[in-house]
Amino acid sequence: MKEQKPLVSAAELEALIQNWGSSPDKSIDKFYIVRLAFNVSVMLCGAFWLLMDPLGIAQTLSSDPENIERVVSYLYFRGWFILGILILGFYSYFKNWYPAIVFCCCLLLGAMNLVSDLFTLYPERLTKPTPFFTLLLLVRLSLLWVMYMSIKNVSRMPHAKDRINVFLPFKRTAGHVE
């Protein structure tokens, strides 16, 4: 049996995705870092909350004692999973290691997790939603939207030296990514 060669290499796929939705000759996206900082801060807070208080969260999601035990383990795993995704995203962003592909995978994972949570974690909460629960769902949707915007504008990412500059929107001149 002959070994099949992939039709598109990872570098070619990155180049195709990178120019998705925007032209690379446009100026850099000055709010790119602000959107990513929002995503990272919310995800870090959520991950630490999941790691430090999975029992409290599980008790708000379910009233069944057997289900609470299962949900606690799931939430604890989810906290570590989110931290792992953040580390991979940081590496991709700062080392320019296929950021479009990595961010696309993060968006897909986030969307699948939300849909999964709607059917496994949230059914009891969806019957009697609270304002906090509604806010939680809105925050999760906004995180997905921000990640989509990051993918769309990956060709307009700031220069490597400006990737942690939260004051980039106030900078008069900024370089374009190489």
Judge whether 105 lies within some domain.
yes
Number of domains, the chain: 1
Judge whether 173 lies within some domain.
no
- Confidence (pLDDT) at 170: 78
Judge whether 98 lies within some domain.
yes
**Cα dihedral 65, 71, 72, 75 in deg (nearest 10):** -160
Judge whether 13 lies within some domain.
no
Whether residue 89 contacts residue 159, with contact meaning beta carbons closer than 8 Å, is answered with: no
Concatenate the DSSP letters of all residues of the chain into one string.
Answer: -PPPPPSS-HHHHHHHHHTSSS-TTSPP-TTHHHHHHHHHHHHHHHHHHHHH-HHHHHHHH---HHHHHHHHHHHHHHHHHHHHHHHHHHHHHHHTSSHHHHHHHHHHHHHHHHHHHHHHTSHHHHHS--HHHHHHHHHHHHHHHHHHHHHHTGGGPBPGGGTT-TTGGG-S--PBP-
Q: What is the pLDDT of residues 10-40, one digit of tens each?
A: 787 777 776 665 555 567 778 888 899 999 9
Judge whether 109 lies within some domain.
yes
Judge whether 128 lies within some domain.
yes
- Confidence (pLDDT) at 19: 62
- Confidence (pLDDT) at 173: 57
Instruction: Locate 93 and state its tokens.
Output: 């962003």
Q: What is the pLDDT of residues 156-172, one digit of tens each?
A: 888 777 777 777 777 76
> What is the residue range of 61's domain?
40-168
- Confidence (pLDDT) at 176: 46
| Residue numbers in the chain where pLDDT is lower than 70 | 1-2, 18-26, 172-178
Q: Which of 177, 130, 169 is nearest to 35 (CA)?
A: 169
Judge whether 48 lies within some domain.
yes
